[in-house]
Amino acid sequence: MTRSTQSTNWISYILRSVVLGLLVAALVIWLQPLVADWQLSRQQSSQPMSFAKAVNRAAPAVVNIYSLSEVRGSYYSRRPSTVLRLGSGVIMDNVGHIITAAHVVANVSSIEIALQDGRRTSAQVIGVDPITDLAVLRIELDNLPVIPQDQNLRSSVGDVVLAIGNPLNLGQTITQGIISATGGRMGVINTHADLMQMDAVINEGASGGALVNSEGYLVGINNAQFRGPAGQGVEGIYFAVPYSLTRTIMKTLIEEGEVVRGYLGINTSDTPAAQVYQQPGIFVTAVDPNSPAAEAGLRAEDYIVEIAGQQISSATEGLALISNTAPGTELEIRYLRGNDEITTTVIIRKLRY
């Protein structure tokens, strides 16, 4: 072997070694993030599930509400007595607007707000909407914690939720559950609001508090526990006003002081007429005397299939359409009465609370 051949072999060996070294180095660099992620996932998998991040983000914005109301005297004592009412609320913006349940602050003489940082202050009622059982309060404080919100948030059945409030004045408490229905629960607790159903426990004093997801974002305002015919609470069935509806009602109350809704004057049901008529619609179970519906000739057991040219698929949809119609508007209603199809015109009035 000549000296030149040896030199060539030696150079090739060095080049191969360098290329191999570079390949190994590149492989190590490429694998390093994957190894780090794997190590992190192992560490996380060894940790118990926790919602501490969500609670830390949302809980400071949930306040305790203490309101005083007077109860008229009885036969034994003519002097009125003062009753302390408990509730919770949620700070929605940095100018001091708080959303809560309307029944927490209805017909009260004074309202005191207690923040989680120890501050206490009085509150002013900006507006109340009995239909959704929501009320907006205002406090005058600086550096307020605001509940995390996402206007594009969409909740789904099965989502984990946390209810934050002050039940029985025990102090801020968190209960956990899942969403079992995101809507279609109108009228279940004496309200026409389209409610969200979940099983995170809400006891007295927690009404008006926050329902948040596992990231701490607001998904609803806690309302009440479902009660059976005897007035007894049913375990595991609780309701909240969805965030999207809450935001709309709050904006209207702040800007206009009240929520104006259309009134037709019917009680409704989806069944059993839907099976009889074999098409979606609204079964009228009762008609209010002297209401727009009564003046238009509607009766109990009529089956409404179209309002203002729009086919109605459910009672929820139909009532929402009426509610969003301005008072004074004329609407054409098509309905079935036995084998007859009838069309009438109603003039929508303002819903009185």
**pLDDT value at residue 167:** 87
105 near 89, Cβ under 8 Å? Answer: no
To which residue do tokens 């509607």 refer? 298
For 109-137, the pLDDT digits (tens) are 899 999 999 999 999 999 999 888 999 99
To which residue do tokens 């069935």 refer? 237
Give first-to-last CA distance, the chain, whole Å: 108
Six-digit token string for 40: 């992190």
Q: CA-based angle 217:150:214, to the nearest 5?
A: 25
**DSSP conformation class of 18:** H
For 214-263, the pLDDT digits (tens) are 999 999 999 876 555 544 555 667 889 999 999 999 999 999 988 888 99
Q: Work out the average pLDDT over 325-350.
A: 93
Which residues, 6 or more positions from 126, have their beta carbon under 8 angstroms from its beta carbon? 97, 135, 136, 137, 138, 253, 254, 257
- CA proximity to 328, closest of 306, 350, 310, 296: 350
Residue 184 has pLDDT above 90, yes or no: no
Amino acid identity at 189 = I
Distance in angstroms (rounded) separating the CA atoms of residues 218 and 244: 10
Residues 318-329: b if buried by 16+ CB within 10 A, e if exposed: bbebbbebeeee
189 near 214, Cβ under 8 Å? Answer: no
**pLDDT value at residue 279:** 80
Q: Which regions of 41-122 does DSSP assign to beta strands (E)?
A: 62-71, 81-91, 97-101, 110-114, 120-122
| Highest mean predicted confidence (pLDDT) among 37-51, 274-288, 330-344 | 330-344
Which sign does the torsion angle of CA 208, 213, 216, 219 carry?
negative
94 near 144, Cβ under 8 Å? Answer: yes
Six-digit token string for 208: 């008006």
Using pLDDT thresholds of 50, 70 and 90, give the confidence band for residue 190: very low
Strand partners, 335: 304, 342
Q: Catalytic amino acids?
A: 103, 133, 207
Distance in angstroms (rounded) separating the CA atoms of residues 22 and 29: 10
**DSSP conformation class of 48:** P
For 290-319, the pLDDT digits (tens) are 999 999 999 999 999 999 999 988 787 888
Q: Work out the average pLDDT over 144-158.
A: 92
- Could you count the other beta carbons within 10 Å of the beta carbon of residue 308? 15
Alpha helices by DSSP H, listed for 207-351, are 243-256, 273-277, 292-295, 315-323
133 near 195, Cβ under 8 Å? Answer: no
Q: What is the torsion angle, in degrees rounded to the nearest 10, for the CA atoms of residue 69, residue 205, residue 57 and residue 139? A: 0
Distance in angstroms (rounded) separating the CA atoms of residues 252 and 255: 5
> What does R_g of the chain's alpha carbons equal in angstroms?
30
199 near 160, Cβ under 8 Å? Answer: no
Residue 27 has pLDDT above 80, yes or no: no
Distance in angstroms (rounded) separating the CA atoms of residues 332 and 350: 17
Higher pLDDT, 141 or 8: 141
Average pLDDT of the residues of the chain: 83
